[in-house]
Amino acid sequence: MAKQLVKRDRLPLPVRIINTALLIFVVVLMGLPMLNVLAVSFSTQAKSDTPGLVLWPSPATVQGYTFIWNHVRFAVPFFNTIYVSIVGTVLHVLMASLAGYVLSQPQLPGRKTLTTFILLTMTIPYELTMIGIYAVNRDLHLTNTYAGLIINGMISGFSVLLMRNYFMGIPRSLAESARIDGAGEIRIFRSISLRLSISALMTIGTLELIRRWNNITMTVTLISDMKKWTLPVVLRYILFDQTTTSGTSYIFANAKMAAVVLTAVPLVVLYFFTQSFFSTGIMIGSIKE
């Protein structure tokens, strides 16, 4: 009986062949540019500037990475990005967790009104608020500071609502039992809610880290000091206006592609460590009350 059900669930052979062919086509379509970037980054200067698709460096060398790290001083924006992304992400997760925990309390006055207001903030495009954000940061003397990059975006409606929905999925009997034993709200939040919400915390933390790592608009808006630029801004000028950051007359393609690889590798590594949390965090966080 079980074998019959398995056979019924299987797609016809022609359909499976078409699906496999489409999947292979998509993988090749997405993989070739990535492989080309990686191969060019390990090529010599002469080989990297030759036209055509490069899939394997011959011979392989790291001179592109050496040049971009030492001569273009790629280490400064690299560590700027690490600092701003990690500190900003930690604060973002903390604020979203606190706000989500408060909104998940059934006795909170005006809970639905507050939730609706937070939801409405997600509908406003960033471009409409860019001038206002710059004016506020200028008046608070946050321009050309790391604090400006960290504070802006420290909270988001998506993260708050995801944490709220996740906390609401935790049985209330656990918190009630802790209150009977004399535990306060801070201890309940720290010892019960946070420990049972690792998937949600990792989800919003990973998404926020990726957003901050790739954020170019906020950096361009607030930072004019080149020493405080982050990777996306420096990478943009290396690829399109290299004389601004390098001080050299020409940067070969292997060094440009090495900059692309150094910018992308941390996010790729992060994904492999956190991918198992996404399905759980997003699905549970999307459940409505």
The total of other beta-carbon atoms located within 10 Å of residue 135's CB is: 10
* Whole-number pLDDT of residue 286: 46
* Whole-number pLDDT of residue 287: 45
Confidence of residue 280 (pLDDT cuts 50, 70, 90): low
Confidence of residue 185 (pLDDT cuts 50, 70, 90): confident
Report the alpha-carbon distance of residue 128 to residue 121 in Å, rounded.
12
Write down how long the chain is: 289
Whether the CA torsion 151, 153, 156, 160 is positive or negative: it is: negative
Whether residue 65 is predicted with pLDDT greater than 80 in this model: the reply is yes
Confidence of residue 135 (pLDDT cuts 50, 70, 90): very high
- The predicted-structure confidence for 168-181, as pLDDT tens digits, reads as follows 888 888 888 888 88
Compute CA distances 257 → 15, 42, 61, 121, whole Å: 39, 9, 13, 38
pTM to 2 decimals? 0.82
Average pLDDT, the chain: 84
* Whole-number pLDDT of residue 282: 52
Domains of the chain: 2-68 (no CATH), 75-285 (1.10.3720.10)
Q: What is the mean pLDDT of residues 104-108?
A: 87
* Whole-number pLDDT of residue 111: 87
* Whole-number pLDDT of residue 289: 45
- The predicted-structure confidence for 193-217, as pLDDT tens digits, reads as follows 888 888 889 889 999 999 999 988 8
Compute CA distances 234 → 39, 73, 121, 237, 245, whole Å: 22, 10, 31, 5, 7
**Side chain identity, residue 253:** A
Whether residue 241 is predicted with pLDDT greater than 70 in this model: the reply is no
Q: Comparing C-alpha atoms, which of 252, 250, 215, 254 is closest to residue 236? A: 215
* Whole-number pLDDT of residue 4: 52
* Whole-number pLDDT of residue 16: 86
* Whole-number pLDDT of residue 239: 80
Whether residue 97 is predicted with pLDDT greater than 90 in this model: the reply is yes
